[in-house]
Amino acid sequence: MASFKQPTFQERAALAQKARDKALKKLAAKPPMDEAESARRKEAQLAREAAAAEKSRARKAAIEQAKADRQAAATAAAKPVQSEAQKKTARDEKYAARKKRKK
């Protein structure tokens, strides 16, 4: 059985050149794209981009709406600021209730 023989640089370069030539020949044999087909593909791509932009815009609007709703809920749930008189009245009521329990 013969052992494996490493290809020389020239052999590798020739093999690569052959592969390049084969790829170029295959590319040259490909028929050019039809103008109508090209226009149809471009139109389809523009439609996909418009749909994606609309979807993105709708998603951003939904996020902004949710953020506004959360902020509105937070402000509605926030305790109203009490005046000093209201605080004093509440404190006095607690004190009176505590005194009443002790009696």
Q: What's the pLDDT tens digit per position in 27-38? A: 999 888 899 999
Torsion sign over Cα 94, 99, 102, 103: negative
Q: At a CB cut-off of 8 Å and minimum separation 6, what does 82 contact?
A: 90
The predicted-structure confidence for 8-20, as pLDDT tens digits, reads as follows 999 999 999 999 9
Both structure tokens of 6: 């490493």
CB atoms within 10 A of CB 58: 10
pLDDT score, position 66: 97
Contact 15, 7 (CB under 8 A): yes
State the amino acid at position 85 in one-letter form.
A
pLDDT digits (tens, 9 = 90+) for 60-95: 999 999 999 999 998 888 777 788 999 999 999 999
Instruction: For residue 37, give both structure tokens.
Output: 């087909």
How remote is the C-alpha of 3 from its chain's centroid?
56
